[in-house]
Amino acid sequence: MTQAPIRLSVNGGIHDVTAERQTPLLYVLRNDLGLNGPKYGCGLGECGTCTVLIDGTAARSCVIPISGCAGRDIVTLEGIGTSDKPDVVQQAFIDEQAAQCGYCLNGMIMTTKALLAINPEPTEQEALAALRYNLCRCGTHVEILRAVMRASGQPAEARD
């Protein structure tokens, strides 16, 4: 039985992917499209390392089948900036040194992008609420919060 390709819009490009309809989006992004921003963490949608934007909303790509992504706009970390011209959120994370091991960064940055799209000037409490399901095991929570506030153009009250 031949599978019909599923057409995905990723980072502004169109990709016809042949895979089982239940294949998690994360696998297609990493294995077929070579996009390594989203990471495999828990595989259960709980840690946030696989976060992408789907139609502007932060979504866990490890639990979303590609069949549910056809006709939707998918953006990965690679689609928001480059090393020469980072996105404002990426630059804020760099400026605040908001990484230690860096494994959670994809989820933190993509969730921050989604937050700032709907709430350009969040309070620290709103930022914390938006990031509450993104796990960071290294303890850079203060720097991450500062980066979110910097990206929104607001001073951060968080202190070391």
pLDDT for 2 = 61
pLDDT for 106 = 96
pLDDT for 158 = 54
pLDDT for 140 = 83
What does each C-alpha distance from 12 to 9, 47, 80 come to in angstroms?
A: 6, 26, 10
pLDDT for 51 = 98
What's the rounded Cα separation, in Å, for the pair 149 and 157? 9
Q: Please name every residue paired with 24 in a beta bridge, in sequence order, or none if there are none.
A: 65
pLDDT for 4 = 82
Q: Count H helices, E strands: the chain?
A: 5, 5
Return averaged pLDDT per consecutive 10 residues of the chain, 160 residues in all.
Answer: 85 96 97 96 95 98 96 97 95 93 93 98 96 87 94 74
